[in-house]
Chain A
């Protein structure tokens, strides 16, 4: 969770190469995919869905470990199952009501904690599931993240125009030939993938924060959708750098340190936009 003490006799560079490089890469991958996905989710008011899938992901991890699979596949299975069930409900919008999502979210979390509790204690670290463990990223984790992110980016590029149209107005998008229902299901499935990717770094409780906070900062100074995505990525990068640095210097937990950095950046941006506005007057 926190930076290990530099073992005596081993030079800085040797362990830097290893886990720090992996952590930085994992963080960069997360920032890259969180920016466009976070923007779409904020535009479509879906941030709460990522929270729900995140909470339910605990169950996925538990089941995954119980069946002795890689936990990320358990997470993906549970998240996709939820998304699919939601899409089967005839009225998609009412399926996404706060109540429904809260029920799924907390049932998943509670069930997950029970399952995890049944596992032998050395098999799982609940804290790292909840808050992430960037510094423990393995080469296999990195590979999973990379593949998932590339898949998501390809889907995003391919459907970007339609996704933006859908975000602006469902009615207009539908009238102009966007296959709204299909696209929405795709979006939910992509969020499921995203949760599985980001869990590694941020933990299930902090995923939504990284999707929402940098995006909100970016919105203050953006004039167009693509600009907002680019700025979100910069804010995400800033949060990552700030979080990892403070984690290193003050021995803070990395995931929470990244989130706090993102929030500090947001506050600074808010203050700046206030100042600029009052000067413009």
Chain B
């Protein structure tokens, strides 16, 4: 694998209980690049994220990682134990031993420094997502994998979250693999889109994907139109996202 790649997937297939979930998916992740996986429910997005992070290992095909690749991961569903007393600070020290300044810095990056001494069980869902996002930046990752990082976050928070992810990328110089069901919110931050529906329907720059016939078949013309509007009005994020989006799948 060439030095300017972090990870290369070749013909990755995965089935579970006789059901094909991924069918010969191939793609590459470059350094400091934001890649968004979109697709309808059940398209295999989370499965693909779990294969990239190494959580699922019994797949067919090949994943080549750059030697020593450090990955930070924010899983889609994090069940946080409410029975355990746990401060945010301790949550960040769960499996690693970051120093105080590293913790402060990580929390500040996602604008939740004030939560450091709070109990995790008292956080709102949006606060928890930001804390967990801060967590993924510890240990200087080369790649952070975020599986639907905005589920349970309100729309304004969602937009800010994607901006934060963009900022993290430039500050940490790390690549991001983002799973989303909603392309138009992540458009401006995304370098590469992988449109997934078991197989890789299409991939490439956001604008070209949004005009691809398979994308249109999956998400409809309305979704493509809202992307077109959005991409031409980067400075009116809130207005556009406030509109009822016809292409949401949840």
Interface flag for A28 (CB, 8 Å): no
A170 engages B83 (CB within 8 Å): no
B86 engages A225 (CB within 8 Å): yes
A171 engages B78 (CB within 8 Å): yes
B147 to chain A, nearest CB (A): 9
Query: Residue of B at shortest CB range from A221?
Result: B85
The residue that A224 contacts in the complex, of B78, B85, B96, with Cβ under 8 A, is: B85
B55 engages A174 (CB within 8 Å): yes
Residue of A222, A225, A228 with most chain B CB atoms under a 10 A cut-off: A225
A178 engages B83 (CB within 8 Å): no
Interface flag for B162 (CB, 8 Å): no
Interface flag for A144 (CB, 8 Å): no
Known interface pairs A165-B94, A172-B94. Does A43 touch B83 (Cβ–Cβ under 8 Å)? yes
B87 engages A223 (CB within 8 Å): yes
Interface flag for B90 (CB, 8 Å): yes
Query: Residue of B at shortest CB range from A223?
Result: B85
Q: For chain B residues 73-132, which have a beta carbon within 8 Å of chain A?
A: 73, 75, 77-81, 83-87, 90-91, 94-96, 119-120, 132
Query: CA separation between A158 and B10, bound complex, in Å?
Result: 39
B81 engages A219 (CB within 8 Å): no
The residue that B75 contacts in the complex, of A162, A171, A177, A223, with Cβ under 8 A, is: A171
Query: Residue of A at shortest CB range from B119?
Result: A223
Chain B residue numbers with a CB within 8 Å of A43 are: 81, 83-84
Chain B, interface size category, equals 20 to 34
Query: CA separation between A161 and B84, bound complex, in Å?
Result: 14
Interface flag for B241 (CB, 8 Å): no
Interface flag for A156 (CB, 8 Å): no
Grouping DSSP codes into helix (H, G, I), strand (E, B) and loop, the A interface class, with mixed when no group exceeds half, is helix
The residue that A171 contacts in the complex, of B77, B90, B120, with Cβ under 8 A, is: B77
Q: For chain A residues 16-59, which have a beta carbon within 8 Å of chain B?
A: 42-43, 45
B115 to chain A, nearest CB (A): 14
A236 to chain B, nearest CB (A): 17
Query: CA separation between A169 and B91, bound complex, in Å?
Result: 10
Chain A residue numbers with a CB within 8 Å of B119 are: 223
Query: CA separation between A173 and B86, bound complex, in Å?
Result: 15
Query: CA separation between A177 and B95, bound complex, in Å?
Result: 9
A168 engages B81 (CB within 8 Å): yes
Known interface pairs A165-B95, A172-B75, A174-B55. Does A224 touch B90 (Cβ–Cβ under 8 Å)? yes
Interface flag for A227 (CB, 8 Å): yes
Known interface pairs A161-B95, A174-B55, A175-B53. Does A225 touch B84 (Cβ–Cβ under 8 Å)? yes
A168 engages B85 (CB within 8 Å): no
A187 to chain B, nearest CB (A): 15
B94 engages A164 (CB within 8 Å): yes
Chain B residue numbers with a CB within 8 Å of A168 are: 80-81, 84, 86, 91, 94, 120
Interface flag for A176 (CB, 8 Å): yes
A222 engages B79 (CB within 8 Å): no
The residue that A222 contacts in the complex, of B78, B81, B85, B91, with Cβ under 8 A, is: B85
A63 to chain B, nearest CB (A): 35
A14 to chain B, nearest CB (A): 46
A-B contact list, 20 entries, CB within 8 Å: A43-B84, A45-B83, A161-B94, A168-B80, A168-B81, A168-B86, A168-B91, A168-B94, A169-B78, A169-B81, A172-B73, A172-B78, A174-B55, A176-B96, A219-B83, A224-B86, A224-B87, A225-B84, A225-B85, A228-B85
User: With A161-B94, A168-B80, A172-B95 given, can you name 13 additional A-B contacts, CB distance below 8 Å?
Assistant: A165-B94, A169-B75, A169-B79, A171-B78, A172-B75, A172-B78, A172-B132, A175-B53, A175-B73, A176-B73, A223-B87, A224-B90, A225-B84
